[in-house]
Amino acid sequence: MTRLLIIGPPGSGKGTQAARISERLGVVAISTGDIFRANVKEQTPLGVEAKKYIDNGDFVPDSVTNNMVRDRLAQPDVSEGFLLDGYPRTSAQVDELDSILAGNGQALDAVLQLTADDDELVARLLKRAEIEGRADDTEDVIRHRLALYHEQTQIVVDRYLDRGIVRKVDGIGPIDEVTDRVLDALKA
């Protein structure tokens, strides 16, 4: 069984790589961002609440996110493994994920950390916003999200570094090359 987490700043290619890695390894990719966007689009109660935070470039509160992830990891399609994208983002969420997995006698096998320069990320996200018409990707919001990532999420990386399960991968370059680097990092 493979239980993975992919982490990195907004725009580092997590979603793209998660889809490719999950396909190659035969595990389910679980993206909290996709779940939030679907709920926002459908205007569910979770979506209405999440939208307020997403539109400001803020993280959705742990209570909402934790319950959503707990429910998702209880689904039968993750019995052979999963690749989490976008969770955990805070130290409290690391504790919650540990609790969820421990309840099933499991633990994470590896954490894939995609790295990239902030200016490169801003350029990528502005281009994506232009192509996809995403209202949440203005330059101010992008820089705010990057600042939050550096401020709040680095502790998550540090906690997994202490466990020796982080595999750092350069997220800049052609998609196929990044995928190859990720797969090589998992073999190491």
Whether residue 124 is annotated as binding a ligand: the answer is no
Q: 183 pLDDT band (50/70/90 cuts)?
A: very high
Residue from 3, 20, 72, 89 carrying the catalytic annotation? 89
Is 70 a residue of the active site?
A: no
Q: Reduced to 3 states, what is the DSSP secondary structure of residue 57?
A: coil
Instruction: Return the DSSP state at 150.
Output: I
Q: Reduced to 3 states, what is the DSSP secondary structure of residue 185?
A: helix
How does pLDDT run across 92-118, given as a tens digit for each residue? 899 999 999 999 899 999 999 999 999
| Torsion angles phi and psi, residue 114, rounded to 5 | -85, 130
Is 128 a residue of the active site?
A: yes
Whether residue 87 is annotated as binding a ligand: the answer is yes
Q: Which residue has the tokens 């969770």?
A: 87
| pLDDT score of 178 more than 90 | yes
Distance (Å, rounded) from C-alpha 156 to C-alpha 159?
Answer: 5
Tell me what the pLDDT averaged over the chain comes to: 89
Residue 168 has a pLDDT of: 95
Query: Could you give the domains of the chain?
Result: 2-182 (3.40.50.300)
User: In DSSP terms, which residues pair with 118 in a beta bridge?
Assistant: none
Q: What burial class does residue 34 get, using C-beta atoms within 10 Å of its C-beta: 0-12 exposed, 13-18 middle, 19+ buried?
A: middle
How does pLDDT run across 155-173, given as a tens digit for each residue? 999 999 999 999 999 999 9
